Chain A
């Protein structure tokens, strides 16, 4: 267990940023921490990095309980904040050397380490450039190299892809995957689920300071899909098929548009299969296509993090 957060609470005056956050991240995961603006992602991350003190709750990193300001645990975490600056008048190599020395790594060891990292993040050969002359995407990469300079076990990135163009973002994600393969556990936050969808092994969705969903991407998609309506295309015996659907105990809300039928269905995958069988054998329908509507990741996200009223409607 790389990270274990239990009942984390944090308020800013009257604003309750974290209500009761629970989260576990295993070794080697590439964890996507998703939530809309103001959900409490940055607050959680700042608590993990020791920059903010939680009101209550516990955090365990690598099996050890965290106290705010604990030097030992700080060496296990690399942190790339959502906004960060670089110093003027400093070269890339000096920038990394400085942070290496801040972790007690100096001399040749430091040099070897940062050259390796620069290659890893795709900035090889740029060690003599001044950091303020780097583009935004490169600075972001440099930020990752900086966060890895002391060889931490857990890398935390707060909305790293914001402000990058799609191509740069793709490269950036590729880079993170590589780093993950090298054995680092990564926690990356974003407010765009589809941005993380393709890369993360696991996803957690936070809303209003509490986790609302946690699991692997496949699980989450499946879970959400069962609440999507069934879509089918029926070419023969449409009225009989509709009548059968209307009678079916698991079906509700049948709408017909030409030969396209959309039906709310509250059964599992086996029930779906049985329904298809019934349609063909009992109603004699000719079924062209049959299946759950595939929610894109964004619609999944909207569904989960929709406003309160919407949720009540959906349940009722």
Chain B
């Protein structure tokens, strides 16, 4: 804790101060809230119309609104975090300030963590600004404070996970543009790529096994653990558990029992996937710190 205050906080403070002087954060929050408002309004409109038909308040629609808002929030974070962090180290390098930082008593890990924290605080601003829309659902019932807390917890984990990947690329690449491209590719990989890998594995099993023998879900089970690092599945799991029933997200059911299993809809899975992503985050942070440490730098 002492170390945090004395070593990480300076970087965090500088980052938040410099970014608050630009219009970037304002624009991000504005766009984010505009879209949230649109979603909220449209959904309320639907509810009002439906209640006209059925004569009661359709809780399902309200819960759907919660899912929509929360899913949008998750998608927005996946989209915005690489932009926030891909330049964190390479930007210092391009500005020729990284060497000076490394000459201070701050250690590479302090710099990396400080930068990530400032990205996290931006994510927190987004989460907080979405609270009014989310509490609409809360007021009508169906969602508890605990649910909101778990949602924010998952969003934080995702931010850290994607942020640490981007920071690692930022530390490895000379140019911010390259780091940004690779970061977005990684986001696509963890959300879509992991799924495609599993489809491929399943197909390979199908080709390799002799005729008549059916590939079972059990064969795929170890492979399916790959989806632990897929934030999309994390949130799929979360929403299914929070609002109950999976009918609303049935489009993923193509590979039901093979790639998508019931295991993914349990609290255990949620916990495990958060743990896996956090563990990877720590690894990536460590690698990023290793990469910028002059002790290890090549040439």
Residues of A within 8 A of B (CB): 12-13, 49-53, 68-69, 71, 74-75, 77, 79, 81, 83-90, 94, 98-99, 101-104, 146, 150
- Contact assessment for A85 and B95 in the assembled complex, using a CB-CB cutoff below 8 Å: yes
Q: Please, which residues of chain A bring their CB within 8 A of the CB of B293?
A: 69
Complex Cα spacing A87 to B297, Å: 24
Partner of B105, one of A53, A81, A104: A104
Quote the shortest CB–CB distance from A220 to chain B (angstroms): 31
- Contact assessment for A51 and B294 in the assembled complex, using a CB-CB cutoff below 8 Å: yes
Complex Cα spacing A49 to B22, Å: 33
Q: Please, which residues of chain B bring their CB within 8 A of the CB of A87?
A: 14, 18, 95, 97
Q: Please, which residues of chain B bring their CB within 8 A of the CB of A102?
A: 10-11, 101, 104-106
Residues of B within 8 A of A (CB): 6, 9-11, 13-14, 17-18, 21-22, 95-97, 99-107, 293-295, 297, 299
A-B contact count, CB below 8 Å?
76
Q: Please, which residues of chain B bring their CB within 8 A of the CB of A103?
A: 104-105
Quote the shortest CB–CB distance from B217 to chain A (angstroms): 50
Given A53-B294, A84-B100, A90 contacting B6 (CB threshold 8 A): no
Partner of A51, one of B21, B103, B107: B103
Of all A-B residue pairs in the complex, the 3 with the closest CB atoms, nearest first, are A101-B10, A85-B95, A89-B21
Closest residue on chain B to residue A90 by CB atoms = B18
Quote the shortest CB–CB distance from A13 to chain B (angstroms): 7
- Contact assessment for B17 and A90 in the assembled complex, using a CB-CB cutoff below 8 Å: yes
- Contact assessment for A75 and B96 in the assembled complex, using a CB-CB cutoff below 8 Å: no
- Contact assessment for B295 and A89 in the assembled complex, using a CB-CB cutoff below 8 Å: no
Quote the shortest CB–CB distance from B176 to chain A (angstroms): 14
Quote the shortest CB–CB distance from B42 to chain A (angstroms): 38
Quote the shortest CB–CB distance from B167 to chain A (angstroms): 18
Complex Cα spacing A103 to B11, Å: 11
Q: A89-B22, A94-B17 are in contact. List 18 more A-B contacts (CB 8 A).
A: A50-B102, A69-B294, A74-B104, A79-B100, A81-B96, A81-B99, A84-B97, A84-B99, A85-B97, A87-B97, A90-B17, A98-B14, A101-B9, A101-B13, A102-B104, A104-B6, A150-B104, A150-B105
Q: Please, which residues of chain A bring their CB within 8 A of the CB of B299?
A: 12-13
Given A89-B18, A104-B6, A69 contacting B100 (CB threshold 8 A): no
Q: Please, which residues of chain B bring their CB within 8 A of the CB of A74?
A: 103-105
